[in-house]
Amino acid sequence: MAEPAAVLVAARDEEATIAATVVALREQFPGAEVIVADDGSRDSTAAEAEGAGARVVRLPRRGKGQALTFAELAAPPGSIVLADADLVGDLRPLADGKPDLAVAAFAERRGGGFGIAKRAARELIRLRSGFEAREPLSGQRHLSAEARDLCFPVANGFGCEVRMTIDAARAGLAVREIELPLDHAATGRDLRGFAHRARQLVDALLAAGPLAVNHRGLRLPIVGWTLGLRGDPAVTAIAAIGLADDVWSGPERGFKGHLGAGNTTGVLKLVGIPLVGLLATRKLSGALLVALSANFLNQLDTKPGRALKAYLAGALAVGAPLGTAVLLLPYDLREKVMLGDAGSNALGALLGLSSVSRLTGRSRWLAVGGLAGLTLLGERRSLGELIERTPVLRTIDSLGRES
């Protein structure tokens, strides 16, 4: 057996089982470091894990995917094993073969619901990668060093396993499911069990979609494209242009970087967003307002909640819609989702279109001049850094954000 470098366990309120799990994993993999990510437990999970010999990474409640991501950052180089905190059984066969990603399939099913979340997860994996998974949600896995580098940081929440399989299969790595006599505390057909499986389903759906890595190194679902579902054709088109940049963008940044590189998604934005604004407003000032507002919010979208707060302030001034932005703000601040270029560009388009309706000719051009100045400033210096150096703006900017 190729000895893994570490065994990672995400645990929350598992004081009754974590010690036995850690002891068993240390016996199975004596050369590996067992790392428990304590995901905001309200009991003595961390103390029990440490007492059993694990290294504990203490976290506020962030969800399974983010807990595993922080645990992986603390692990030494090499292959890794992932295990649930209430696991009973031997995982050594996972590390005894040649697959880059080995997934444990439980020999016997116990508990569970009606299989809706599992069937949906199977279908998502098949559609995105072509791999036919038997146990798409199994948390018992072995990743080679190559698979680890590819799959981490993992997707958010309970979608981490689904995206892990998709990424490995799409990259052409060897993926194999191995049936093992394992057991764990399965959820039942009660309110708590159905709520858990509903979260699994939502997280799996988000994990199978576009993802991006934020400033903290967390891999989050991009949900800003949902702003394009409002029904306004111009906002829909601009959200689609931004989504193309989210999915296919390269390392280029700023106007000079994109223009110098030639045919990039950034150039598509530079041309496409003003054109959509011109077609929607039939005014040059309208095209400029839409394009500059979209770029301004995109420049601000470097920390959670920053672009949404700026949008809400602008929306109150020009009468832009507030509803979707208000709904997204707490999830963005808590680093559960990201706007992406799709979201920040769509919000900017909403501000620009509302400004054309609200502002007169002269005030419209004054707004164009102000946004143009902010755009030029953002090309030379980071607007985020300027906010963080200004006490009042820094205080407003940090409200509600995870420390």
Tell me the CATH architecture of domain 6-203.
Alpha-Beta Complex (3.90)
What is the rounded average pLDDT for all residues in the chain? 91
Is 112's pLDDT higher than 90? no
Is 256 or 342 the better-scoring residue by pLDDT?
Answer: 342
Token code pair at residue 40? 């905001």
Is 70's pLDDT higher than 80? yes
Q: Residue 1: what pLDDT?
A: 56
Answer for the pair 118, 198: CB distance below 8 angstroms, yes or no.
no
Q: Looking at the DSSP assignment, which residues form a beta bridge with residue 306?
A: none
Answer for the pair 301, 383: CB distance below 8 angstroms, yes or no.
no
Query: Average pLDDT for residues 114-140, to the nearest whole number?
Result: 93
Q: Residue 6: what pLDDT?
A: 97
Q: Give the pLDDT confidence of 241-295 residue by residue, as tens digits.
A: 999 999 887 665 555 554 455 567 788 899 999 999 999 999 999 999 999 999 9
* DSSP 8-state code for residue 49: H
Query: Average pLDDT for residues 138-158, to the nearest whole number?
Result: 96
Parallel/antiparallel/unpaired status of strands 141-143 and 101-106: antiparallel
**So where are the chain's domains?**
6-203, 219-398
Is 296's pLDDT higher than 60? yes
Q: Give the pLDDT confidence of 299-314 residue by residue, as tens digits.
A: 999 999 999 999 999 9
d(CA 160, CA 203) in angstroms, rounded, equals: 8
Query: Average pLDDT for residues 376-385, to the nearest whole number?
Result: 88
